[in-house]
Every structure is written in C-alpha cells, then in structure tokens.
C-alpha cells in the first residue's frame, strides 16, 4: 500500500469515527444533567472493575457497593468540571458506549459489562501504549477519573497505607 493511500484511508477513517461519535453523542450522551448517564455508568463501572481489580472487595455484594460508591463520586467530580470538559467527557463516554466506538477507540469487541476484567485491562493497556495521542488521552482520562474518584473516599485510604491527614 502506498503512503498516500494509507494517509487517505487514515483521514477517511478519522472522519467516519468523528461523525459516528458525534451521532452517538447526540443519540446517547455519556453525561445527562451534569451526571453520568446509564451508558456512562456502564462504561465507568467496567473501567472501575479493571483499574481497581485488586483493590475492590472480593465479595460480590461488597464489590458492587464499592462500584456504586465510585460512580457516585464520579458524578460529584463531573459536576465540578468546567462545561467544556463535561462536554468532552460526555462525547468520550458516548463514543465508548457505542459498539463501533468501543471497538475503534478501546479495541474491545465485547460489550463493557460482558467483557472480562482481563480483556478490559488489555484494552486499557493497548490504549495507554498506543501511537495515537487520542487513545492515550482517552486512557489517561478514564484511568485518572476512576482512580481519583475511588481513592478520594477515606474508606479506601487503608489500602494505600495512608493514615489520613495529620491532626494539627
């Protein structure tokens, strides 16, 4: 394949992805009313299972409670973001919630809730080391929001060996 053909293919693919992502964001936004939509919650729940795998409780009931707390703290975090950052996050989540976007951006074939933790972790790792800056930025946003929201809860500090703020 010639270099010019490859560049044209890349540009066309980016345009299709942009149009598909914009359409998905209009049909099913990742954020609704300054909080995670149902599809946004599904994406972050799966990302949370993968990123926090060894730190989440082993008991399934306790694990689900921890994930629900994570999603609540992400809602609080989202509300503190400026409007342009909320719009970008909403677009990212809408794209990842769509089958085409999930495959193209995350490289994950299964729906988020059906994918194994190992598959999601591999998908995130592929995003992290991708040559495409867009995939790296998406990874960084998903990882940092998930870890930041989870470890902002004082109940999680013991996992880090952090005793909490010093008493003055």
Quickly list H helices, the chain.
Answer: 3-27, 38-51, 60-80, 83-97, 99-101, 117-128, 133-151, 157-160
Per DSSP, the three-state class of 100 is helix
Q: For the segment 61-89, what is each residue's pLDDT rounded down to a tens digit?
A: 999 999 999 999 999 999 999 999 999 99
pLDDT of res. 29: 87
Confidence of residue 25 (pLDDT cuts 50, 70, 90): very low
Per-domain boundaries in the chain? 29-156
Encode pLDDT of 123-133 as tens digits.
999 999 999 99
Q: How confident is the model over 43-61, as a mean pLDDT?
A: 94
Mean pLDDT lowest among 19-33, 54-68, 93-107, 143-157? 19-33
Structure tokens at 87: 């719009």
Q: What pTM was computed for the model? A: 0.81
Cβ neighbours of residue 69 under 8 Å, at least 6 residues apart? 153
Q: Band of the pLDDT at 20, cuts 50, 70, 90?
A: low
- Are 47 and 120 a contacting pair, CB within 8 Å? yes
């Amino acid at each position: 394949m010639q270099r010019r053909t490859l560049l044209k293919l890349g540009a066309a693919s980016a345009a299709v992805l942009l149009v598909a992502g914009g359409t998905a964001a209009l049909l099913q936004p990742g954020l609704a009313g300054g909080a995670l939509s149902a599809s946004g919650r599904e994406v972050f729940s799966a990302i949370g299972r993968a990123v926090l795998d060894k730190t989440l409780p082993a008991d399934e009931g306790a694990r689900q409670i921890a994930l629900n707390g994570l999603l609540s703290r992400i809602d609080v975090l989202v509300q503190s973001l400026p409007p342009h950052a909320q719009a970008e996050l909403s677009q990212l989540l809408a794209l990842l919630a769509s089958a085409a976007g999930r495959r193209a951006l995350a490289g994950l074939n299964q729906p988020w809730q059906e994918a194994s933790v190992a598959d999601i972790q591999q998908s995130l790792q592929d995003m992290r080391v991708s040559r495409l800056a867009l995939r790296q930025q998406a990874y960084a946003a998903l990882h940092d929001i998930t870890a930041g929201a989870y470890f902002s809860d004082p109940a999680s500090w013991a996992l880090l060996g952090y005793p909490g703020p010093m008493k003055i």
